[in-house]
């Protein structure tokens, strides 16, 4: 592996892991970041970084609740309805791939501001749409904005949190998805109470735009990632960002910035002179295994997660929940309460994941999670095949959904978000995370598009069989491409081949 030595600096370099050699001042700055106590600036940075994942959960839930109301007002065809659900996650494919690459080029904070600006405009566009095509396009742009945020948030949290807290804080970031879903349930119920009319779905999207505007304004005060700044040779800006966390070390940090000048941080299994590695570096021998592990299980997980999550209300309706309601608003309220109750276990799964992912490791929890997802879908399948159908076995229905959500979030929904940000170097971190997220959203698009068609052709049992197969494939691909996932610094992850 190449070192970070430069001709202008005749200094002894520091080996922070086998084969990873850094300028000693960079090594010191990284150690300060990794060993810093968790303080208020860390928590504020985490909160602002989690806005995109929170809005992801909120937007999925909002759209799911809006679908039956939108169908009444605009008379969507089955194909238009499929494109409406798929448009949200299809947009995320473009957003994740472009947002990750852009974040490695222009910085994490710049993309954070760009994606929230787009989300505000797209959500308002959805609220004002007057025909199916416009609503589909607006939701696709919502997806682009949310997709852009995914690789940036994971990269930023990984780069700024202390090493011992990194895993927990990253799982907490993706856990904000479930917080967004629970928040969305409260918002929908409140709006239904205030305006129980068929066009209340427009207010759902207005609320989404308001929340996105809050994060946009708040992120103006967010610091840039010190690791990214160091990778660009902007060391004085990096130490100023570190000062926000460790103000007592101001004098030492200023002296460090002076010595470093414009020396770039480099800890990667790619040549040092390749400061802006091409996208193809993800598929070079050094990173190919990591790229497959990051992308393929996430593809399968999102196919199940978004397919089931987007149509939880539809599946519950097909299982006769809320069928006794006298009008559409009352039926929507019943489905919102049922979906919201199920989504509480998404949040509980993430809480378990915050503990379990660090305690047992990323790979082990990903394997356990996929197995649990298959179990949950199997319970639902049994309920649908028993005499009397699922409507006569609602306890089993809820047990199946709850098991699926618990294992998904304490396993692959947490670990697939964490792994790419840890396995790629700073120069490729957001690019690698963005590619993995884009592949995942392609899986989500496929799931959201295919599930209503499968349900219409072969019924709920066909959907459940498909989800069982997807979960088992997720388990197998994780096992085949598993890596060394022990706790270590981000730079130390570049020390050895993970084959």
pLDDT in tens, 368-411: 999 999 999 899 888 878 886 666 667 887 788 888 888 988 89
pTM of the model: 0.84
| Bridge pairing between strands 20-22 and 14-17 | antiparallel
Contact 449, 86 (CB under 8 A): yes
Does residue 34 carry a pLDDT above 80?
yes
Task: Please report which helix (H) or strand (E) contains residue 14, including its range.
Answer: strand 14-17
Q: Where are the domains of the chain?
A: 40-226+283-488
More confident residue, 181 or 448: 181
Q: Give the confidence band of 75 by pLDDT, cuts at 50, 70, 90.
A: confident
The radius of gyration of the chain's CA atoms, rounded to the nearest angstrom, is 23
Query: For residue 339, is pLDDT > 70?
Result: no
Dihedral of the CA atoms 279, 284, 286, 290 (nearest 10)?
70
- Residues 297 and 291 sit within 8 Å (Cβ to Cβ): no
Compute the Cα dihedral for 157, 96, 448, 463 and give only its sign.
negative
Amino acid 320: pLDDT: 47
b/e per residue, 314-344, with b = 16+ CB within 10 A? bbbbbbebbeeeeeebebbbbbbebbbebbe
In the predicted structure, residue 127 carries a pLDDT above the cut 70: yes
CATH code of the domain occupying 40-226+283-488 = 1.20.1250.20
Q: In this predicted model, which residue has the larger pLDDT, 195 or 430?
A: 430
CA dist list (Å): 17 to 160, 256, 456: 20, 22, 55
* Cα(376)–Cα(449) distance, integer angstroms: 22
Write the pLDDT tens digit of every residue in 180-235. 888 888 888 888 878 767 678 888 899 999 999 999 999 999 999 999 999 898 99
Write out the two tokens for 395: 């306890």
Give the pLDDT of residue 210.
95
């Amino acid at each position: 592996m190449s070192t970070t030595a430069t001709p202008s600096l005749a200094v002894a370099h520091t080996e922070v892991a086998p084969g990873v050699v850094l300028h000693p001042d960079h090594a010191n700055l990284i150690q300060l970041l990794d060993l810093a106590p968790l303080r208020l600036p860390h928590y504020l940075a985490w909160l602002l970084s989690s806005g995109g994942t929170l809005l992801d959960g909120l937007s999925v839930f909002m759209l799911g609740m809006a679908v039956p109301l939108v169908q009444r007002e605009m008379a969507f065809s089955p194909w238009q309805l499929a494109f409406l659900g798929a448009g949200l996650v299809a947009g995320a494919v473009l957003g994740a791939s472009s947002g990750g690459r852009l974040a490695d080029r222009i910085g994490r904070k710049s993309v954070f501001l760009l994606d929230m600006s787009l989300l505000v405009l797209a959500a308002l566009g959805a609220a004002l749409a007057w025909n199916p095509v416009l609503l589909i396009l607006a939701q696709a742009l919502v997806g682009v904005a949310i997709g852009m945020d995914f690789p940036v948030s994971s990269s930023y949290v990984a780069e700024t949190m202390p090493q011992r807290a990194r895993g927990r804080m990253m799982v907490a970031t993706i856990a904000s998805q479930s917080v967004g879903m629970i928040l969305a349930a409260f918002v929908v119920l409140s709006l239904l109470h205030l305006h129980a009319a068929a066009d209340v779905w427009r207010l759902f999207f207005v609320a989404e735009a308001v929340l996105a505007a809050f994060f946009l304004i708040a992120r103006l005060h967010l610091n840039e990632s010190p690791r990214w700044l160091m990778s660009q040779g902007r060391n004085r800006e990096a130490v100023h960002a570190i000062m926000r966390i460790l103000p007592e070390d101001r004098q030492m940090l200023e002296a460090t910035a002076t010595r470093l000048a414009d020396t770039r941080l480099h800890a990667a299994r790619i040549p040092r002179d390749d400061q802006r590695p091409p996208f193809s570096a993800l598929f070079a021998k050094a990173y190919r295994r990591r790229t497959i592990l990051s992308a393929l299980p996430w593809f399968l997980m999102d196919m199940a997660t978004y397919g089931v999550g987007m149509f939880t209300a539809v599946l519950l309706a097909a299982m006769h929940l809320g069928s006794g309601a006298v009008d559409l608003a009352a039926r929507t309220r019943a489905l919102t309460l049922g979906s919201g109750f199920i989504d509480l276990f998404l949040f509980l799964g993430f809480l378990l994941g915050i503990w379990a992912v660090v305690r047992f490791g990323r790979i082990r929890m990903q394997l356990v999670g996929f197995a649990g997802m298959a179990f949950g879908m199997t319970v639902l399948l049994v309920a649908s095949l028993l005499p009397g159908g699922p409507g006569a076995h609602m306890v089993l229905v809820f047990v199946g959904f709850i098991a699926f959500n618990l294992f998904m979030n304490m396993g692959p929904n947490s670990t697939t978000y964490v792994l790419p940000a840890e396995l790629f170097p700073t120069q490729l971190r957001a690019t690698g995370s963005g590619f993995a997220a884009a592949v995942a959203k392609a899986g989500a698009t496929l799931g959201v598009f295919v599930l209503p068609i499968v349900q219409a052709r072969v019924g709920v049992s066909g959907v459940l069989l498909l989800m069982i197969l997807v979960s088992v494939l997720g388990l197998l691909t994780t096992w085949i491409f598993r890596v060394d996932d022990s706790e270590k610094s981000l730079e130390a992850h570049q020390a050895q081949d993970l084959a």
